[in-house]
Amino acid sequence: MSHMDCPGFPATRLRRLRATPALRRLVRETRLTTDGLVMPLFVRPGKGVRRPIPSMPGNCQLSVDELVREARAIHKLGLPAVLLFGIPDKKDEKASGAYAKHGIVQSAVRALKDAVPELGVITDVCLCEYTSHGHCGIVRKRRDGALDVDNDATLELLARSAVSHAEAGADIVAPSDMMDGRVAAIRRALDQHGFEQTPIMSYAAKFASGFYGPFREAAESLPRFGDRRTYQMDYGNAEEALREVALDIAEGADIVMVKPGLAYLDVVWRVKERFGCPTAVYNVSGEFGMVKAAAKNGWLEERGGGEGMLTGFRRAGADIILTYWAKDVARWLRE
């Protein structure tokens, strides 16, 4: 029996349009371009420093001068923006480096805006790289005696960080801490300081995840005790993710993010469908790292794996993709 013998089977054969590269190109629904891609970068003190991050092949911690060189190359490749993470030389309980006028990220933003003003600069707003304990906020003893991040005490420091980034020239601030109410606190502080025009990209639905491993090596932000499950989301929850996103939009978020990406495409889809606002997805370090590691072993081909993953994010509704492959994609698309 051939498929044509099926009653009611249409004369169209879908395979007709898959026969050649030209045909496939004509009918492709989702296209990967550089337009919505953002390259995350790590900046540290020093001069002439390019310190490779072993768990994230191809990525380095860069001093400001090297960061500027990197940013020029990224701009030349046609990418619209970078996302900055800072690694300070000193950490303390209050994360002082996060909101210091001449902190590492603030200095980096000034240098980038000076050298490559057309390149968009997004700053990650969080305390975890700056606290001595590696948590995303101020740690206090709870009533039950457990150590935990104090939500409201953290808000003010996040707002100060965001304002200091805007003062340095950041185009977008991106809070990744998952404290309740931080978008409102940051929006209020930005407005009070004359930055009504600075957009907020909130890591709205950020799940506690095993996929952040390589990043914590890169940003030197592994928590010294406990984990982040009292503030980041439980990965069983999609309805709650929608509530998180709704709250952030109500508080003034301009772009909402789902993170990680790969295991959360249902959430990306629902967020885009329900709210229709600019939606970002963070293709996190572990998602990048596992393809890199498999490719190194000869188990898969990196470009196929990477492009397939990124196209999937787009298909699911992501407008913006934050990815360590951003530079590679720009190169792949030119080949």
Q: Which residue in the list 94, 113, 141, 206 is annotated as catalytic?
A: 206
Q: Which runs of E-coded beta strand occur in 160-225?
A: 172-175, 201-206
Backbone φ and ψ of 204, nearest 5° = -75, -50
- Closer to ligand PBG by CB, 57 or 115: give it: 57
Catalytic residue flag (residue 206): yes
For ligand PBG, the closer of residues 38 and 126 by Cβ is: 126
The β-bridge partners of 70 are: none
Specify the length of the chain in residues. Answer: 335
Q: CA-to-CA distance for 123 and 294, rounded, in angstroms?
A: 31
**Residues interacting with ligand PBG, by CB under 6 A?**
124, 126, 128, 136, 176-177, 212, 215-216, 221, 228, 284-285
173 neighbors 200 (Cβ within 8 angstroms): yes
Distance CA 82, CA 74 (A): 8
Q: Considering beta carbons, is residue 124 or 251 the nearer one to ligand PBG?
A: 124
Give the residue among 82, 95, 50 at the shortest CA–CA distance from 221: 95
Q: How far is the CB of 324 from ligand PBG (least distance, A)?
A: 7
Closer by beta carbon to ligand PBG, 12 or else 150? 150
User: In this structure, are strands 147-149 and 139-141 parallel, antiparallel, or unpaired?
Assistant: antiparallel
Least separation, in Å, of the C-beta of 330 and ligand PBG? 19
- Residue 151 or 221: the one with the smaller Cβ distance to ligand PBG is 221
Q: Which is nearer to ligand PBG, 115 or 263 (CB)?
A: 263
Structural element, H or E, at residue 41:
strand 37-43
Minimal distance, residue 127 CB to ligand PBG, in Å: 8
Q: Which of 47, 91, 101, 259 is flagged as catalytic?
A: 259
The minimum distance between CB 189 and ligand PBG, in angstroms, equals: 19
Tell which residue, 128, 88, 90, has the closest CA to residue 106.
Answer: 88
DSSP, res 93: T
Task: Please check whether residue 286 is in contact with residue 214, taking contact to mean a CB–CB distance below 8 angstroms.
Answer: yes
C-alpha dihedral sign at 33, 235, 206, 57 = negative
Q: How far is the CB of 274 from ligand PBG (least distance, A)?
A: 24
| Site of tokens 């932000």 | 221
The residue number whose beta carbon is nearest to ligand PBG equals: 215
**Could you tell me if 200 and 254 are in contact, meaning their C-beta atoms sit under 8 angstroms apart?**
yes
Nearer to ligand PBG, 227 or 266 (CB): 227
**255-259/201-206 β-pairing:** parallel
CB of 268 to ligand PBG, least distance (A): 16
Alpha carbon of 245 to those of 219, 242, 255: distances in Å?
26, 5, 10
The least distance separating ligand PBG from the CB of residue 22, rounded to whole angstroms, comes to 37
Question: Which conformational region is residue 178 in: left (phi greater than 0), alpha (psi within -120 to 50 degrees), or beta?
Answer: left
Q: Say whether 292 is catalytic.
A: no
Residues recognised as catalytic:
206, 259
